[in-house]
Every structure is written in structure tokens, then in C-alpha cells.
Amino acid sequence: MSDASVSGEDEILEMFFDEGFVPHAFVDILLSNAANKDISQVQATSSSLLSRFDFYTKNLTKELEMTIQKLEKLSETLPGTWTVKMDAADN
Amino acid sequence: YLDMSYKRLQEVLEPYEKAQKLQNVLSKVHQTSILLRDALIYIHLVNSIKVINESNQQLNSQMALELASLHSQLESGINQSANLKSLRLIKKFDIDVVGPSSKELLNYLSTELNRVCSDTNNLNANRENVVVLLKALHSFSLQEFANTVHRIVLSHVQASVQALIKTINFVKNFPPAMEIAVKRGYTISFVQSLLRDIKSDNTNFLNEYTSQMKPKPLTPREFYWKQVATSFKKDLDISYKRGGPVGKALQRSREFIEQTIRKTMVNSTDNADYEADMQTMLNSVSVLSTEMH
């Protein structure tokens, strides 16, 4: 898989590509670690993370759209039987 | 043909798997984002509560209203997200800040409202304050709002019943006791009109309170007079049926008692609609028109 176009060197983004990543656990640890610190600092860190997530969402959505377009183009050139095989591959 | 088909399939499979992966990643970013955002809102609200509680100012009704609104926002945030509730930081905030603050707030609101509503002489002067307290309590919890108002009504019922029952053996004291019951009835009527004037969504506080009343949806006024009349009647019936000098005195005073009720009940409300409540009170002494055994 080539995710280089969106991920680059970004460690936080890599994290989401990890199969074992659980959003709840991540937020839980993030906030628990911050609990001993100043509340306003926690808010600042969380806010900047949130804007980063928005940025990821934008890029990932764009890439997903492009991938789907590619799939649609390919399906036009394929023989009619491919959908059946796709289902088999899916299972 | 098979070989070529397989190659083609590979061409499709790769972007297909990539799309699946991207969708999965997007969903996780989205979930993380939502949860973090909800938590951030929660932290912000908790912080606002802390600021008010640590301001070293004696709690007043305006502050209580603000706190109540913050608590109700926290509550709805928690109810909308089970994941939010299970975050350790949120749990810690609940124990350290939210729980104690909401307990203190509820205690303040119910004590204060009770105090102001017991002061029958100055209720009108405290009108604005009562409205703020009612709004705060309502926004904090509909159930607590209904419970507190109900307790206030009950405490007035109790005081009036006590005053009335004492006069069964001394009918001469019935008028001042009836004045007390009417004054307290007036207070309930006053609170009821305040409740009716506070709008809430498509209805008002009075309707919301009344609909919570079980088993029958009675207004505070109806409930007050029904309770006062029922309790008074119970004791009066017993004394009357027992006969003796007390029963005889009661029998002789029937006209006097009924006249007192008719005269005093006029003052039980600012509205002219006291007839039904007056009838309720007249019914409580109906035993006096029966034969004494």
C-alpha cells in the first residue's frame, strides 16, 4: 500500500493505520496523562490535535475519492463477471 | 482467459483494498476527533464550574442559575456519549468537581427556595428571586424541580393542618387558624401563578410540574386545599362522632365555622376563582350537618 502521499513522516497519522488502534484508548491515555498538568495546557494540546485531525480527514477523504474514481473507471473496462469474483475476494 | 482475468482482478483488488483501508482509517480519525471534541467541551464546562466555585463568593441565585445551566449541559453531553463517560479524566472530574458541585447546588436551591417560599409576608418582594431559583432548579433537573416544589407545598399543608386541628377543641380560635391556612394557600397560589408565567418550550413550568403529580395531575393549589381539607376532616369527623361537650360545641358552631370559611377563602388567591377551593373546605366540615350520635 502506498500511503506516502498523505502520511509522509507523520507519526500521529501512522497511528491510525495501525490495525490495533482504538480511538477510545488513545483519547483516554492522552487525557489521563494530561490530567496532572494545567487544564489550559490540556485544552491547547487537544485543540491543536483536533485541527490536525481535521486536516487528516480532508486529505484522507480526497484520497479515498480518488481511489473510488479509479475503481469506477476500472469497473467499466472489466467483464460483467468481476463483481461476483469481487464478492468472493471480499469474504 | 483465466490468467488475464486474474491480472485484471489484481488491478481492481489493489485500489479496492486501499479504499477499504482508507475508509477504516477515516472512520478511526473521525471517532477520535468526535470523542476528543466531546471531552474538550466537557473539560471546558467543568472548568467554568470550577471558576464559579472557586470565586470565594457566597453562592447566590444568579450564580446558581449559571451553575445549573452548566450542569445540565454536562449532563446532556454525558448522556449523548457512553464513550465520554468511561474516560478516566472525565470520571475523575465527576468525582472531584461535578458530583460535589451538583450536590451543593441542589442543596442551595432547595433550601433557598424553601426558605423564601416559607416567608409568606415577603414573598412578593422576593418574586424575582423565586423566579430565578425556579428556573435554575428546572434547568438542573426536572425531577428535582418537581420534588422541591412538591415539598414546599407539603410543608405549607402541614403547618395549616396543624393550626386548624388545634381549634377543634376551641372553636373560637377557628378564624385565626383559618387565616393562617388562607395565607399559606395564598402563597401557594402566588407560586402557582409564577410557575404559570415561566415559559418552557411549548408549555410552562406549571404544566410541567402538574404533569409530574401522581396519581392525579393536580395543580399546587388544588393539591394544597385537598390535602388541608382531607386531614382536617379526618380529625373533625372523629371528634364530632365521639360527641360529648366537644361534639356539642362543634354542632352549635356549624354556622360560625361555615361563615368563617366563606369569609376567609376570598383572600386565598388574587384571582376570583376561589369557589372550588372554598367548596373543598366547606366539604371538610360537612359532618357537622349530620345527626350526632
Question: Does residue A33 fall inside a structural domain?
Answer: yes
Distance from C-alpha of B56 to C-alpha of B51, rounded to nearest angstrom: 10
Digit-coded pLDDT (tens) for A68-91: 998 888 877 766 554 554 555 444
A56 reaches B (C-beta below 8 A)? yes
B270 reaches A (C-beta below 8 A)? no
Question: Does residue A29 fall inside a structural domain?
Answer: yes
Q: Which residues of B touch A21 (CB under 8 A)?
A: 28
Closest residue to A89, CB basis, from B13, B40, B47: B13
Closest residue to B40, CB basis, from A47, A85, A89: A47
Count Cβ atoms below 10 Å from residue B139 Cβ, excluding itself. 19
10 Å CB burial of residue B178 (0-12, 13-18, 19+) is buried
* CA B74 to the chain's CA centroid: 20
DSSP A4-52: HHHHTT-HHHHHHHSTT--HHHHHHHHHHHHTTS-HHHHHHHHHHHHHH
B56: left (phi over 0), alpha (psi -120 to 50) or beta: left
Pairwise CB contact (< 8 Å): A57 & B30? yes
Question: Does residue A6 fall inside a structural domain?
Answer: no
Distance from C-alpha of A50 to C-alpha of B62, rounded to nearest angstrom: 34
Closest residue to A50, CB basis, from B8, B37, B88: B37
> What pLDDT does A16 receive?
92
Q: What is the ipTM of this complex?
A: 0.77
Residue pair B250/B288 in contact (Cβ under 8 Å)? The answer is yes
> What pLDDT does A5 receive?
45
Distance from C-alpha of B178 to C-alpha of B158, rounded to nearest angstrom: 13
Ranges of residues in chain B whose predicted pLDDT is under 70: 1-2, 293
Distance from C-alpha of B232 to C-alpha of B244, rounded to nearest angstrom: 19
Q: How many domains does chain A have?
A: 1
Q: Which helix (H) or strand (E) holds B203?
A: strand B203-204
B26 reaches A (C-beta below 8 A)? yes
> What pLDDT does A1 receive?
39
Cell numbers for B204: 410552562
Question: Does residue A2 fall inside a structural domain?
Answer: no
The pTM (predicted TM-score) of the whole model is 0.82
Cβ neighbours for A68, distance < 8 A, ≥ 6 positions apart: B19
B-contacting residues in A 58-87 (Cβ below 8 Å): 60-61, 63-64, 67-68, 70-71, 74-75, 78-79, 81-82, 85-86
- Alpha carbon of A22: minimum distance to chain B alpha carbons (Å): 8
Q: Which residues of B touch A71 (CB under 8 A)?
A: 12, 15-16, 19
Closest residue to B89, CB basis, from A35, A56, A68: A35
Report residue B195: phi and psi, to 5°.
Answer: -60, -40
> What pLDDT does B11 receive?
79
Distance from C-alpha of B137 to C-alpha of B102, rounded to nearest angstrom: 11
Q: Which residues of A touch B47 (CB under 8 A)?
A: 39, 43
Pairwise CB contact (< 8 Å): B26 & A67? no
Pairwise CB contact (< 8 Å): B83 & A24? yes
> What pLDDT does A3 receive?
43
B16 reaches A (C-beta below 8 A)? yes
Query: For residues B100-128, b (16+ Cβ closer than 10 Å) or e, as one string?
Result: ebbeebbebbbebbbebbeebeebeeeee
The amino acid at residue B88 is R
pLDDT in tens, chain A (91 residues): 344 444 445 888 889 998 899 999 999 999 988 767 778 888 888 999 999 999 999 999 999 999 999 888 887 776 655 455 455 544 4
> What pLDDT does A39 receive?
80
> What pLDDT does B260 receive?
96
> What pLDDT does B35 receive?
95
Digit-coded pLDDT (tens) for B213-244: 888 889 999 999 999 999 999 999 999 999 89
> What pLDDT does B87 receive?
93
Question: Does residue A3 fall inside a structural domain?
Answer: no
Q: What is the extent of the structural domain holding A54?
A: 21-90
Cell numbers for A90: 471480499
> What pLDDT does A4 receive?
42
Half-sphere exposure of B201 (CA within 13 A, CB side): 6
